[in-house]
Amino acid sequence: MVPITTVHYLVVAAALFVLGVIGVLIRRNVVIVLMSIELILNAVNLNLVAFSRMWGTIHGQANLQGQVFAIFIIVDAAAEAAVGLGILIAFFRNKETVNVDEIDLLKW
């Protein structure tokens, strides 16, 4: 078996990213769209951590900047999920639907 290199992790991250993009573009249910956004963020995190592993050491110490960036993205994803779901609940009170193509109150 080939040893697992960085490119293997990048391919997995790319696959998850494309799956997330498909989910955002195709699904009608807003909650599933938000979950696809979480998939995209996870793909980005995997990319960052794989690169932090690839760059090895800097100044003799392990280069963990990618991992710190990934932690910040996880924090950010939590904030964004909370706010996004809050918006969804506020909208659901008005129109009783969770389908993206029925959220068209501004259309004329």
Partner 1 sequence: MNPGMNAALNSGMAPVATPWFFYALAGLAVLSGVLVITLRNAVHAALALIVTLLSVASLYLMLYAPFVAGVQIVVYAGGIMVLFLFVIMLVNIERSSKERRFNRIWPAGLAAACALLALFVSAFVKGKALFMDRGMPLPESSNTQQIATMLYGEAGRMGQYTFAFEIASLLLLVAILGAVIMTKKKI
Residue 44 engages partner 1 in binding (rule: CB under 8 A): no
**In sequence order, what are the residues at sequence separation of 6 or more whose Cβ sits closer than 8 angstroms to the Cβ of residue 101?**
28
- Of positions 56, 94, 104, 105, contacts partner 1 by CB under 8 A: 56
Residue 58 engages partner 1 in binding (rule: CB under 8 A): no
Size of the site for partner 1 (CB under 8 A): 76
Q: Which is nearer to partner 1, 56 or 108 (CB)?
A: 56
Residue 55, SS3?
Answer: coil
From the CB of 105, what's the least distance to partner 1, in Å?
Answer: 16
Q: What is the DSSP string of 62-93?
A: E--HHHHHHHHHHHHHHHHHHHHHHHHHHHHH
Q: Which is nearer to partner 1, 94 or 108 (CB)?
A: 94
